[in-house]
Amino acid sequence: MADHYFSAEPTSADVRRAVQARIWGKEYTFTTATGVFSRDRLDLGTSVLLREVPPPTGSHTVLDLGTGYGPIAVAIAVEAPDAQVWAVDVNSRALELTAENAKAAGVGDRVHPVLTDGVPEDVRFDEIWSNPAIHIGKPELHKMLLHWLARLAPQGVAWLVVGKNLGADSLQKWLGEQGYPCERTASAKGFRVLKVTATNQAATPS
């Protein structure tokens, strides 16, 4: 069976290459490899997300859900020098690359690449960023999102980018039905950027 980017242990040869990307006005060179998501370039959806949403500021705790080789996690850590960034993926090769790219960018001490069960139970996130793996299927996608959204801090927000043709609008509706207020904040190049807020914010008096 061929590898998917959401394979836990890619069996393909680990062939590496360098990818250039400009994120929030800074130039990056990331190491990528076969068997990981969008190894040849910064994914279009990810680039839309990073263009449409400003980086976090302050001493936030941030989750990059489905980090791949780590462009979101690394760029956030560079832009927010007081942030701790948890970079989660099921793909062991992706996590290895994230660690390597974070070290190269000088933020290896604040980017924590871990498997999905590697985040301590008491950690809560001020922000979640994700270009989620839609291709894992709707049941698994929903399960994954509900698991991590439940770990938002009281005033936390999640930023998601999803292709319109991959069900962005139905996902927005579904999140609202689960009690997570969700609004579309941008639409570009066939992608929707969704802002999801923690459930308890809906009941907060204005």
What is the pLDDT, as a whole number, of residue 98?
96
What is the pLDDT, as a whole number, of residue 204?
37
Tell me the CB-side half-sphere exposure of residue 16, using CA atoms within 13 A: 13
CATH class of 42-200: alpha beta
| Cβ proximity of 196 and 162 under 8 Å | no
- pTM equals 0.88
| Cβ proximity of 144 and 117 under 8 Å | no
The tens digit of pLDDT for each residue in 42-98 reads 889 999 999 999 999 888 999 999 999 999 999 999 999 999 999 999 888 899 999
For 10-135, strand residue ranges (E) read 16-23, 26-33, 61-65, 84-88, 111-114, 125-130
- Specify whether the backbone of 189 is left (phi greater than 0), alpha (psi in -120 to 50) or beta: left
Burial 114-132 (b: 16+ CB within 10 A, else e): beeeebeeeeebbbbbbbb
Residue 152 phi/psi, 5-degree rounding, is -70, 145
CA nearest to 148, candidates 169, 133, 135? 133
Residue 175 phi/psi, 5-degree rounding, is -60, -40
Q: Does residue 149 carry a pLDDT above 70?
A: yes
Could you give the C-alpha distances from 35 to 31, 60, 68, 155, in angstroms and in order? 13, 31, 10, 36
